[in-house]
Each structure stands twice: as structure tokens, then as C-alpha cells.
Chains A and B, each alone.
Chain A
Amino acid sequence: MRREWIHAGLLLAPALILLFAFTHLPAIQTVIDSFFSTARGRRPAAFVGLANYERLIGDAIFIRAMVNNAIYAAITIPVSIALALAMALFVHRHIAGRAFLRMAYFTPTVLPLIAVANIWLFFFLPGFGLFEQLRGLIGLSPRNWVGSRDTALYAVMVVTIWNQAGFFMIFYLAALQTIPDTLREAAAIEGTPRWVFFRRVVWPLLMPTTLFLSVNATINAFRMIDHVFVMTQGGPNNASMLLLYYIYEQGFRFWDSAYAATLTVVMVVILAIVGIGQFFLMDRRVHYK
């Protein structure tokens, strides 16, 4: 028995040490840092209690970032999932040009977000990009999508949805394959309309996948911000500021690591809530299996 413990220890040690060193310890250290001030020059970090959190509450840019992130999540999550489901239903069974369709849906997923952001930026270019040319055709005046406060965040969202919907499609495809054909045949014999069959049979059976994807999409809504660096850099005037980008800005532009740590704590708390929520929802998944 003891020998097995030693074996287990030896097998686990390298992975666990690295895991603790770059996930758990930094998470704990981040919480500690958030109660200290940032060391500047010869002045070391000093304990400041909740001062960083007080600053947080009064920080208009932080509030802006949280509101933006909420809008970002509220739109990208349902739209991505709905499109993913549509895509999966389209290519699940035989359809003309199935291979091409599947490729078209999925390709954006394998490309670097930072690279496709360049393409999209060009797409949105005022008075010049393709998007604008199409608007020109129907007589609309040119518009600066990425550079305008009203639309910058939405321009970023379009790219997020475009990038992740195809990835989510895969999970729906996998789930659709597990639905037995006999159900469909039975429904067909009964003369059940397609829509009713979908709503009463397919949709409930896909529920675990939908929950799983919702969690994934929520995490992505906070984590997938590569394209912000290219497209808007949080601007104009913080109109597309998102939490992780703000952490980057505070931590690596202004080098205010204590405040960046405080922002990171907010991020970790949000992700922990999502994680606990998933754990709770997982119980319901079992129900369907």
C-alpha cells in the first residue's frame, strides 16, 4: 500500500508542482497583492487594507468594463449558441455541399483570433471596407464602425461570434449523433411536424450540450479578447473596454500591479461563480443520461 503511495507521489509531483506554481499560488498571491499598494521605485509595497477595492468601486472605467462585459456576454453567448445549433442541424444529415458547408462554418475557429482581427478591421474600414461598400450600394453613408463609441463593442462581438460559433457546432454535431434514428422515424410515421419534433424531442435531448456550451461561452466572454488589441484597444474612450483588457492595461501599460491584482480578483470570483454554477447544473445533466 505504502509503495503505491510513493509511486503516485512520483507520478504526480512534476505536474502538480507546476500546476500549483502557475495556477493556485498565483491566484492566492493575487488576492494578497490586492491588499497592498504597488511598489514604486525605492518605495516598497505597503499594506493598504481595502483601499484598492474602494478605488475599484469609484473607478468609472472599471464600471464601464463590467457593463461592457455584461453586454458582451449577454449577446455573444446566446447568438453563438443559436448559430452553432443552426449550423449543426444544417450539416448533421445529408445536404448538397455538406463538406463545403462544414468547412465554411468551422474554419474561423482554427485561425488565430489576432490574425482574423486584421481581416475584420479591413472589413469594417470606413467608406472603404467591403461591409461599407455593401452599405454604399443601398445608399447609406459611410460609418466608422470600429472607431465610433456606439458601435465599437458590437464590432468586436461580431468577430467573437464568427470565431466561436463553428467550434460550438462541433459539440452539437456530436450530440445530434447520439440521438437514435428510431425516434425520428417514429415521429415521421406519426406525422409529427419537424418543428414540433425539434422542440419536443431534439431540443430537450440537446440540453446538456447547451448547458456545457453556455459555460464555455461565458468563460470565453471574459477570456477571448485578443481581437480587442488589434481592433479597438478598449477604445474609443473605453467604449469597448473589457475586464481582461483593463487588467492588461493596468498591469502592463501603467504597471500598477496591485490594482491589476485587484481587478484579477474580480475576474477569478466571476469565473469561480461560473464554475460552481456549472457544478450545480451538471447534476441536471445526469438526468438526461
Chain B
Amino acid sequence: MSTLVVTQTRFDRTLFVAGAWALALVWILPLAYAVWTAIHPSAYETRFVLLAPLTFENFTRAWNAAPFARYFLNTIMLVTMILAAQLILCIHAAFAFARLDFPGKNLLFALVLVQLMVMPDILLVRNYATMAQLGLVDTILAIGLPYFASGFAIFLLRQTFMTIPKELDEAARVEGCSLPGLIWRVYVPLAKPTILAFALVSVSHHWNNFIWPLIITSSVETRPLTVGLSIFATTDSGTDWSVITAATLITSGPLIIAFLLFQRQFVQSFMRVGIK
């Protein structure tokens, strides 16, 4: 900062810092409020007494009021399945786009990019009909299937693969490495940062996804957390707010904890994914 203070008065700086903090406090307020409500008895929902008694009861009541354990399991199975399928399908496709020559390559790649605009999220009605024809309605597979072939993943991995020097794969081929071997032993390890970044984005996106799972699921055995939470919060209108906020925190908890632990990686991943 030393040389830069020239143009910056102390007043400027104070205003700048105050603005930053004011915005941050406004931004964190809803969450702080939710935490307050969740860890105090409902009598203290809107009474802010510093020494209000703490309680864990809202969490246990929420946990017991709906099959959250099952919802957690469903969500974890869902995001794992989607990520695994996306990586396997898209790594191969991205490699073909990045390194192989074949007729219609540009056209096919343009068709892949179409998905960045017209996502499956929009085509709810038709995709529901497809799932009904396949007999997959109300399965976890049906929640994930439309997202397996991710145009975004193909685009991102292709960009990364194209930066890998061609000499490397010539060397690998001379050594007698097969095409799958080349992809998995040379390209994938070198693309690790991109893959990690995509994984974080994919998991947080599908952990949070709501409308498609809401439509395609109808039983406790398949519902992910987001849908489970919405049903819990709307049908039990008699439930008090402290229990609902506790349930809300339960469903977002793993993401918040993961985010706090891997904050740097999260931010860097999102940045990496954003720079085209």
C-alpha cells in the first residue's frame, strides 16, 4: 500500500472499510438470525437477550419430525452418482473434442454448447414424459439422468485438455499406451485442478437443486434434502419457526461446514471455472 496512499485520504479509507463491513453484516444477518432462532427456545425467537438459554432441542425435534436421515442418504447418493457419471462421460467426450479429428466436429461441439443456454431445468414437461416412458419416475436415477452429459463439463475439460502439450501423448503412444490409458494416465492427472473445481461446482449445484427433483420424486425413498425440507416446512404449518430454521440449518449444514473448511479451494474453484 505504501506508495498508493498518495491519492487516498484517511476519510476515504474509513468510509471504504465501513462500507465493506456494513454490507458484510447485512449479508450475514439472515444466517446469523437463523442460527439464533435455531439454538434458542422459541420464546426467544424475536427477543435478543444475550444470556438467553441455549438449546439443542429444535434440532432434535426437526430431525425426528421428518425422515431427514433418509433424505441425506438420497442426496449423497444423488450427487455422487451425478458427479461420477459426469466425469466418466465428459472426460471421454472432452478428449475427443480436444485431440481427435473427425467429420462434423465443430457442429457437434456447437450442439454441446447449446446446453449452456437451454438446460434440462427448463424442459421439465418433456423430460418428465421421457422418464414416464422409461418407467423411471420416482427413482434417484431419474433425478440425475438429464444432468449426466454436462455441456459445461465437456466445455471446461476440453479447454483444459487443449493446453496439455501434444508431445506428451505422442510419447505415451510410442510407449505403447492405449487410448483409454492415455486419457486416464496422462490427461486426467494433468487436469486435476479443473476436475476438482468442476466437482465442487457440480456437487453444490445438485445438492441445492430443487424443481426437477420436486417433480420427478414422490416418495421418501427418493426425495433429496431440498424437496424433503420444502415439504416439511409447508405441510407442517403448525410447526414453530425455530424448528423450521433448525431443519433449514441441518440441510445446509454439510455444505456450510465443507465451505468453511475448504473456503480457499471453493473460491479458487469457482474462479477457475468462471474464467473461460
* Chain A residues at the B interface, C-beta cutoff of 8 Å: 1, 4-5, 7-9, 11-12, 14-24, 26-27, 29-30, 33, 83, 86-87, 90-91, 93-97, 99-108, 110-116, 118-120, 122-123, 125, 128-130, 133, 162, 166-167, 170-171, 173-174, 184-185, 187-189, 191-194, 197, 212, 219, 222-223, 225-226, 229-230, 244, 247-248, 251-252, 257, 260-261, 264, 267-268, 271-272, 274-275
Instruction: Write out the residue numbers on chain B whose beta carbons fall within 8 Å of the beta carbon of A257.
Output: 125, 129
Cβ–Cβ < 8 Å partners of A30 in chain B: 123, 125-126
Could you give, for residues 140-164 of chain B, a 1 whenever the CB lies within 8 Å of some chain A CB and a 0 otherwise? 0000011011010010000000000
| Cβ B225 vs Cβ A112 within 8 A | yes
Inter-subunit contact A188/B33 (CB<8 Å): no
B114 at the interface (CB under 8 A from A): yes
Indicate if B51 sits at the interface (CB-CB under 8 A). no
Complex contact B30–A105 (CB within 8 A)? no
Give the CA-CA distance A229 to B231 in the complex, in Å. Answer: 11
A185-B3 contact, Cβ under 8 Å, with A167-B270, A272-B117: yes
Residues in B whose Cβ lies below 8 Å from that of A194: 7-8, 12
Mark B18-33 against chain A: 1 for CB-CB distance below 8 A, else 0. 0111011101111101
Q: How far is the CA of A33 from the CA of B146 in the complex (A)?
A: 20
| Cβ contacts under 8 Å, A111 to chain B | 31, 208, 252, 255-256
For residue A277, give the distance in angstroms from its CB to the closest CB of chain B.
10
Q: For window 240-269 of chain B, which residues contact chain A by CB distance below 8 Å?
A: 241, 244-245, 247-248, 251-252, 255-256, 259-260, 263, 266-267
User: Given A7-B100, A18-B89, A174-B274, does the pair A115, B229 have CB atoms closer than 8 Å?
Assistant: yes
A86 to B120 alpha-carbon distance, docked (Å): 33
B79 within 8 A of A: no
Cross-chain contact B114 with A91 (CB below 8 angstroms): no
Question: Contact at A23–B115, with CB atoms within 8 Å?
Answer: yes
Q: How far is the CA of A82 from the CA of B114 in the complex (A)?
A: 28
Q: Which residues from A are CB-within-8-Å of B74?
A: none
A interface footprint on B110-125 (CB within 8 Å = 1, 0 otherwise): 0110111111111111
